Structure 1
Amino acid sequence: MEQVFQVDLRGIVDLLSHHLYGSPRVYVRELLQNAVDAITARRALESDAPAVIRIETPDITGDGSIRVHDSGIGLTESEVHTFLATIGRSAKRDELGFARHEFLGQFGIGLLSCFMIADQALVVTRSAKGGPTVRWTGYADGRFRVETVEDRGEPGTTVTLLPRSGMEQWATRATVADLTALFGGLLPFPVMVDGQSGSDSVLPWQASHPTPDVRQAALAAYAEDTFGFTPFASFDLSCAEAGLTGVAFVLPHAANPAARAGHRVYLKRMLLSENLIGLLPDWAFFIRCVVDTGELRPTASREALYEDDMLDATREALGARVRDWLVELATADPGGLARFLQVHDMGVKALALHDDDMLRLVDRWLPVETNAGRIPLAEFRRRFGSVRYTPSVEEFRQLAAVSSAQGLGLVNGGYSYLSEIVERLPAIDPDIRVARLDAAELATHFDLVDPATELALRPFLSIAQRCLDRLDCEVALRGFDPPSLGALYLLDRDTAHRAELRATREVADELWADVLGAFDTGPGPDRPQLLLNYRNPLVRRVCGLTDPGLVTTAVEALYSHALLLGQHPMRPVDSALLTKSFVGLLDWAVHDPEGKI
């Protein structure tokens, strides 16, 4: 058996008026919205009809009430019964029941916001279509009364509210004036509060100015008033499909890319939200914007936008405009782009890890440290073909000069996010070749010493190896550029990992030794290498020494110098060796009048 739902009107009114909206202040917005829509409807019938909204606060009414008058189309008695007495029924729909886009309100529930501050709402209205003046009295418990009253004269509507106890502050002149300026400050016709107008008929970004510089200064002042900051730059936004125009302001300070940016959004010039999330793509975290839209759909509370295909298309169009601005900035003002990236580089790099568009921007424009200077990655590839990088700053400092001398380009990937960005480059172009450069690979570019020469130097190399064995280091003789570099200490990550793993196995118990053995990658160099550069004149002279003690001191000095040049961490034994070799060489120099070395 079919039955009809039972509806608790008091509960419905409480639900919508107290829980749909975020704050009692929205009652001013809803009353303004109804007034604007009434004026819009009347002007559709009478193009020259008056357009004015007058608000009277208790300073004028004298009885503690607030009154909102409009010169709109008004309602007939039957329309009052139809629209004011039915929750969810709106006069702003066409004959098929679809919301008419020229109106702000669509849901037929805005008047319920009045019950957030009052227990009773009084509506006196006269239709421009003719008929008597009608008074509708609604109560917060769901009751209402409709009656005809003395003619009010001109068509239009007056809404009167008497705030309940404890809500009087929402009806004071200062509060109402502030809320009217906030919600209706950009309406295209006057909104008077106790006889004073606070609306502006021209949108700030559409106002005419004598020069572009004057316009930029005016927009900067508007951003200061609206957001509290002087923007780094500003540029226009538009999306014809959404009937959207506006202006974007670039933050002058670094922003957290994880914090979603909020924007000021107007719907048909009525404020929808001061902090709307999701209008721009997440990667545009450095932008705050003010826009007015005519086609995007609000939610029932009119405090957010409805997620649909239109909003998705608008978000994509606005994101494209932001990217276009960055390209224009790079072309017209490279110095400005450099300043922008100095401010927002960390956030830009963070988003490049997930957003291909931002990755392309970073690839093309963000300067990074390389052994060829600070240049963008795209320029680096044009010079070197592929991208080799080091995952740490220490490795870069160790290998930069040597790799440059071998004709190898090297990117310092040791700074935040940069290694991950380099590794993501093939995602935007599969032809991009990326590889990590480690010490072992670099050593393959060095020249071997002539076998006969190396054989002749075997006694020297034997003494040098015995000297370095206690430092857990291998010694080798190579020829490489630059010749000014006498020795190079090479420690790649795989070698360091194997050495640490095997050292741990030696002190672990049998069970854990077996577990760690499973991670052993097999044969390979277990120790770092000290490469002596046979192209260096000093190294050649050291190799010619025959005194074992002097060879040991010289090799220890070269080892310590290589650690310092590569900015490797110094162990206690290394620090002690540095002091010992320095003192030893000084002692040898003092006691050798010829100073041969």
Structure 2
Amino acid sequence: MQKYQFQIHLGGIIDLLSHHLYSGPQVFIRELMQNGVDAIQGRKLIDEEHQGRLDIQVVKATGNQQPSLVFEDNGIGLTEEEVHRFLATIGESSKRADLAKQRNDFIGQFGIGLLSCFMIADEILMITKSARQGDHPAVEWRGKSDGTYEVRLLETHVSPGTRVYLRASQGMENYFDIEQVGKLVHHFGNLLPIPIDLSEGDRRKQINDRRPPWEGVYYSSDEERRSYLEYGRELFDQQFIDYIPLRTETGGITGVAYVLSQATRPKMKSRHRVHLKGMLLSDQVENLLPDWAVFVRCVVNAEQLRPVASREGFYENEELEATRTVLGETLRNYLKGLADQAPQRLQEIINLHHMAICSLASEDKECFRVFGDFIYFETTLGRLTLGECRQRNGILRYVSTVDEFRQIAQIAASQGLCILNAGYVYNQELLSMLKQVDPDVQVDKLDAASLTNHLEDLTLDEREGAFLLLRTADLTLHPYRVASDIKKFEPASLPTIYTSNEQANFARQTRLTKDIVDDTWGGILNSFENEFTNSQYAGLCFNLKNPLIKRLTKVEETSVLKQAIEMLYVQALLMGHHPLSDKEMALLNQGLLGMIESVVEKKEDPNNEV
């Protein structure tokens, strides 16, 4: 069987790079700097004392000539044989050959970086001189976007290293403007340890002359804090609450995590500025930290992680997973330290990013272990953290809706009962996660109906005195599926409390729905209600400590009691924020009209003193 060689269409490869692999033409500057840095690193392998440098020269347009760029490094250079091998073969790289043992010392390893220059130029001219073979002449390589190239040896003296000459293609002149070049060089290479000089005519400056704060030496914590926060403000153009130095052996990470001063949204991905051996990969890396770390934004330099082919992110492997775990532990230790040394700052972070933190903590055990005890809940004893609730109570009791909480809040507080309001988003999920993280903790769901078990019972004489009131209430409220009871509780100003559980609430909602649907759906709801909710009753508990209720226990006229009970029932529903059915609304209207008529009659009767 005859074998055939794959053919490479360079134009198609360039289109693939510019539209699908790289984020845009601007990456050609990163690729050229990266090749220069790697060449200098290769030279250091044969000369440890070598001092590397990168020079970038901008040449303005003159006459009919387009502007051009010259990238020069004093690295290891190439021989003629290496030029043919590495520049003429797509995917081949000098970092993969006889330097394979030191491969992790290099940024680029894919053999496609130089092709990015064809996104902004039609031709690449490179002059290179090998430092390993000093007697080998310099080599000129000229590559064109049509896939052809020329090579010739030079007789002139050239210092070891490489120069790349580029002339702007039509429409790409912006990438050859010195201001734009300076911004891109600084953007990609500001953390490179090798000096980068940019020049145009007599103008020359070093781009990366400022080192990051984690390389500084400080004489006080205040000086260090100012330096870190100033660096973050200039880099990201925003203020931060705090900073967390990052340094791990796993992944070779150095850098800083900044605590955001703006609230984050649930499920929002944090994006970080990540460098590899000083060269920027991307400022949009999402997989560096655990998902729960939404409250920080990082700038880091990694020495050991593996980049993807576009060098704009990291390859998802065991090394990255281990690095992510260690960085997560660093953030947890920071939060634990704040809990002991600066709890107000920790609470500020949680309050600011409350929804995002609650969302993640309700789904992620690791996140819950970090934040769980610091998340606030509304309780009948005030706003408390989950940790404070656990310290105060052996059993955590909660109600599942805001309406239930409103019903019981005053009464539970007067009895000294700490009941959590789990009616807000994520609260029930957080309590469920608490039981998963700590199986020994007891978390009980409480409904408003069971609250009456904690209230003070009446004496036998008091209950006998309230018999007529309770009997009349049971008869009056039976059509509304409400049973009556009487207790003594604080506050004394509260005459009644309406209590219910999930089943009673469901039965009530079914009856309310029947009032607004047609006969067909009404019949379906009737059968459903009769099958599942016949035994479900809510409760109306009278408070014997209330002066009005005391007076009602002495009233013997059932018509007066009935009217008072109906009004107290409707009032209890309104206080519990329950919607009224048509029948209950009619009770309210009749009661109000009855009171108005009674007042008017007293006014009109001359024998009555008002």
Secondary structure of 1:157's aligned partner: strand
Deviation at 1:350, TM superposition (A): 0.9
Match of 2:197 in 1: 192
Which residues in structure 2 correspond to 1:409-428 (within 5 Å)? 409-428=418-437
Match of 1:121 in 2: 124
Query: Conserved in 2, the CA contact under 8 Å of 1:93 and 1:99?
Result: no
Query: Conserved in 1, the CA contact under 8 Å of 2:43 and 2:76?
Result: yes
Q: Which deviates the most, 574-583 or 162-171?
A: 574-583
From 60, 66, 69, give the equivalent of 1:66: 69
Q: What is the alpha-carbon distance in structure 1 between the residues aligned to residue 226 and residue 147 of structure 2?
A: 52
Match of 1:531 in 2: 541
Q: Which deviates the most, 495-504 or 328-337?
A: 495-504
Deviation at 1:82, TM superposition (A): 1.7
Q: What is the alpha-carbon distance in structure 1 between the residues aligned to residue 146 and residue 188 of structure 2?
A: 28
Q: Which deviates the most, 443-452 or 225-234?
A: 443-452
Deviation at 1:209, TM superposition (A): 3.3
From 302, 305, 308, give the equivalent of 1:296: 305
Structure 1 residue 107 corresponds to structure 2 residue 110: yes
Query: Conserved in 2, the CA contact under 8 Å of 1:554 and 1:581?
Result: no
Structure 1 residue 167 corresponds to structure 2 residue 172: yes
Deviation at 1:296, TM superposition (A): 0.5
Q: Which deviates the most, 389-398 or 562-571?
A: 562-571
Query: Conserved in 2, the CA contact under 8 Å of 1:13 and 1:142?
Result: no
Instruction: Letter of the 1:531 partner, please give it.
Output: C
Instruction: Letter of the 1:134 partner, please give it.
Output: V
Deviation at 1:319, TM superposition (A): 1.2
Q: What is the alpha-carbon distance in structure 1 between the residues aligned to residue 122 and residue 147 of structure 2?
A: 10
**What is the TM-score normalised by the length of structure 2?**
0.89
Secondary structure of 2:211's aligned partner: coil
Q: Which deviates the most, 140-149 or 455-464?
A: 455-464
Query: Conserved in 2, the CA contact under 8 Å of 1:480 and 1:533?
Result: yes
Query: Conserved in 1, the CA contact under 8 Å of 2:486 and 2:542?
Result: yes
Structure 1 residue 327 corresponds to structure 2 residue 333: no
Instruction: Letter of the 2:253 partner, please give it.
Output: L
Secondary structure of 1:181's aligned partner: helix
Q: Which deviates the most, 12-21 or 161-170?
A: 12-21
Query: Conserved in 2, the CA contact under 8 Å of 1:40 and 1:72?
Result: yes
Q: What is the alpha-carbon distance in structure 2 between the residues aligned to residue 365 and residue 173 of structure 1?
A: 51
Provide Cα deviations, 1:99-138, integer angstroms capped at 9, x if missing partner. 7111111111111111111121111011112110110111
Deviation at 1:340, TM superposition (A): 1.3
Q: What is the alpha-carbon distance in structure 1 between the residues aligned to residue 533 and residue 567 of structure 2?
A: 30
Q: What is the alpha-carbon distance in structure 1 between the residues aligned to residue 300 and residue 594 of structure 2?
A: 71
Q: Which deviates the most, 115-124 or 5-14?
A: 5-14
Match of 1:398 in 2: 407
Aligned residues: 595
C-alpha spacing 1:515/1:558, structure 2 compared with 1 (3 Å): closer
Secondary structure of 1:92's aligned partner: helix
Match of 2:374 in 1: 365
C-alpha spacing 1:380/1:588, structure 2 compared with 1 (3 Å): farther
Q: Which deviates the most, 25-34 or 573-582?
A: 573-582
Q: What is the alpha-carbon distance in structure 2 between the residues aligned to residue 511 and residue 168 of structure 1?
A: 71
Secondary structure of 2:327's aligned partner: helix
Which residues in structure 2 correspond to 1:135-534 (within 5 Å)? 135-194=140-199, 195-200=204-209, 202-406=211-415, 408-446=417-455, 449-450=458-459, 453-455=462-464, 457-468=466-477, 473-481=482-490, 483-501=492-510, 509=519, 513=523, 517-518=527-528, 522=532, 525-534=535-544
Instruction: Letter of the 2:55 partner, please give it.
Output: R
Query: Conserved in 2, the CA contact under 8 Å of 1:99 and 1:106?
Result: no
RMSD of aligned Cα (Å): 3.0
Q: What is the alpha-carbon distance in structure 2 between the residues aligned to residue 470 and residue 520 of structure 1?
A: 14
Secondary structure of 2:32's aligned partner: helix
C-alpha spacing 1:585/1:225, structure 2 compared with 1 (3 Å): farther
Query: Conserved in 2, the CA contact under 8 Å of 1:94 and 1:100?
Result: no
Query: Conserved in 1, the CA contact under 8 Å of 2:14 and 2:116?
Result: no
Provide Cα deviations, 1:409-449, integer angstroms capped at 9, x if missing partner. 31011222112212332111122222221122223344554
Match of 1:83 in 2: 86
From 531, 551, 562, give the equivalent of 2:572: 562
C-alpha spacing 1:149/1:48, structure 2 compared with 1 (3 Å): same
C-alpha spacing 1:376/1:578, structure 2 compared with 1 (3 Å): farther
Match of 2:8 in 1: 8
Instruction: Letter of the 1:102 partner, please give it.
Output: D
Provide Cα deviations, 1:148-202, integer angstroms capped at 9, x if missing partner. 0133432111001112112122112122111111111121122111122111362
Q: What is the alpha-carbon distance in structure 1 between the residues aligned to residue 447 and residue 609 of structure 2?
A: 42
Q: Which deviates the most, 476-485 or 139-148?
A: 476-485
Secondary structure of 2:104's aligned partner: coil
Q: What is the alpha-carbon distance in structure 2 between the residues aligned to residue 430 and residue 528 of structure 1?
A: 33
C-alpha spacing 1:568/1:578, structure 2 compared with 1 (3 Å): farther
Match of 2:32 in 1: 31
Q: What is the alpha-carbon distance in structure 1 between the residues aligned to residue 270 and residue 224 of structure 2?
A: 25
**What is the TM-score normalised by the length of structure 1?**
0.91
Q: What is the alpha-carbon distance in structure 1 between the residues aligned to residue 600 and residue 471 of structure 2?
A: 24
Deviation at 1:515, TM superposition (A): 7.2
Instruction: Letter of the 2:154 partner, please give it.
Output: V
Q: What is the alpha-carbon distance in structure 1 between the residues aligned to residue 559 and residue 114 of structure 2?
A: 98
Deviation at 1:212, TM superposition (A): 1.9
C-alpha spacing 1:548/1:12, structure 2 compared with 1 (3 Å): closer
Provide Cα deviations, 1:453-503, integer angstroms capped at 9, x if missing partner. 545544343444455457664433334455554321223331121234357
Secondary structure of 2:170's aligned partner: coil
C-alpha spacing 1:582/1:11, structure 2 compared with 1 (3 Å): same
Q: What is the alpha-carbon distance in structure 1 between the residues aligned to residue 577 and residue 507 of structure 2?
A: 21
C-alpha spacing 1:291/1:328, structure 2 compared with 1 (3 Å): same
Query: Conserved in 1, the CA contact under 8 Å of 2:380 and 2:419?
Result: yes
Deviation at 1:514, TM superposition (A): 5.3
Match of 2:589 in 1: 576
C-alpha spacing 1:461/1:338, structure 2 compared with 1 (3 Å): same
Provide Cα deviations, 1:314-363, integer angstroms capped at 9, x if missing partner. 11111111121111111111111121122111111111121112223343
Query: Conserved in 2, the CA contact under 8 Å of 1:125 and 1:156?
Result: yes
Q: What is the alpha-carbon distance in structure 2 between the residues aligned to residue 517 and residue 441 of structure 1?
A: 28
Deviation at 1:210, TM superposition (A): 3.5
Q: Which deviates the most, 286-295 or 361-370?
A: 361-370
Deviation at 1:232, TM superposition (A): 1.1
Query: Conserved in 1, the CA contact under 8 Å of 2:458 and 2:487?
Result: yes
Instruction: Letter of the 1:217 partner, please give it.
Output: R
Instruction: Letter of the 2:586 partner, please give it.
Output: V
Q: What is the alpha-carbon distance in structure 2 between the residues aligned to residue 333 and residue 353 of structure 1?
A: 25
Instruction: Letter of the 2:589 partner, please give it.
Output: A
Provide Cα deviations, 1:237-265, integer angstroms capped at 9, x if missing partner. 12212111000011101112322111100
Secondary structure of 2:353's aligned partner: helix
Deviation at 1:302, TM superposition (A): 0.7
Query: Conserved in 2, the CA contact under 8 Å of 1:70 and 1:156?
Result: yes
